[in-house]
Structure 1
């Protein structure tokens, strides 16, 4: 696909975030059960985003004994992951709905792997923080 076509597709996709009724202009209406499953997946991503944001605030507020730079880095990693996760939820919902209406394969993404690696890295850092705190 050409560069301008990709930008046009991206712009159209972003417009669908704010006018989801326009998605009905594409393809055929899928079985409602699939659309509802797509919505449940969207809500699961939002719950994950909220948990990440809550974890980021918890690290910042409830670990004051942690060195400032470490605490802020961990908190920002979780808060940023939460923000990205929320945005990705909307994007994935639109892409999956469009694919179902067009009879295409559902979109694939590396985002779940990246999110898992980030959360795993933060968890590993927190394990070190706990262990080092107990050794003192």
Structure 2
């Protein structure tokens, strides 16, 4: 079966990888999307339900941080899926996952802010 010009252009040629690897790559992409949706829901929840816990400025900062992190993860998941698919097609090493340290740092910062605010 021939791939469309669009997919050939996005995937940059190469050889078709084992379908199991492509499907594993898709499952990983979907896991990142679920994480992004959870952070999106968390950002909305902070803004909607934390009015009595945090001041307006803190609530907005936490909410926007969570929403930006969700947006970053969602966009990065797509780019990561494509880079991994290309690497598999050209039998190159898989790219370093920049998404993981970014999520860890972002989650740590939000958690530290929440802990400090709850403790005070």
Q: TM-score, normalised by structure 2?
A: 0.88
The count of aligned residue pairs is 114
Alignment partners' CA distance in 1, 2:19 and 2:61 = 43
* Separation in structure 2 between the aligned mates of residue 116 and residue 38 of structure 1, nearest angstrom: 21
2:3 — aligned with what? Answer: none
| Contact in 1 for aligned 2:29/2:81 (Cα 8 Å) | yes
Task: List per-residue Cα deviations over 1:33-71 (Å, max 9, x = no partner).
Answer: 100000000000000100110110111111102111111
- 5+ long unaligned stretches in structure 2: 1-5
Partner of 1:76: 64
Over aligned residues, Cα RMSD in angstroms?
Answer: 1.5
Match of 1:31 in 2: 18
Number of the residue aligned with 2:31: 44
Does 2:43 correspond to 1:64? no
2:104 equivalent among 116, 121, 124? 116
Does structure 1 retain, via aligned residues, the 8 Å contact 2:65–2:110?
yes
Q: 1:59 to 1:20 in 2, by over 3 A?
A: farther
The residue aligned with 2:83 is: 95
* Structure with greater helix share of residues: 1
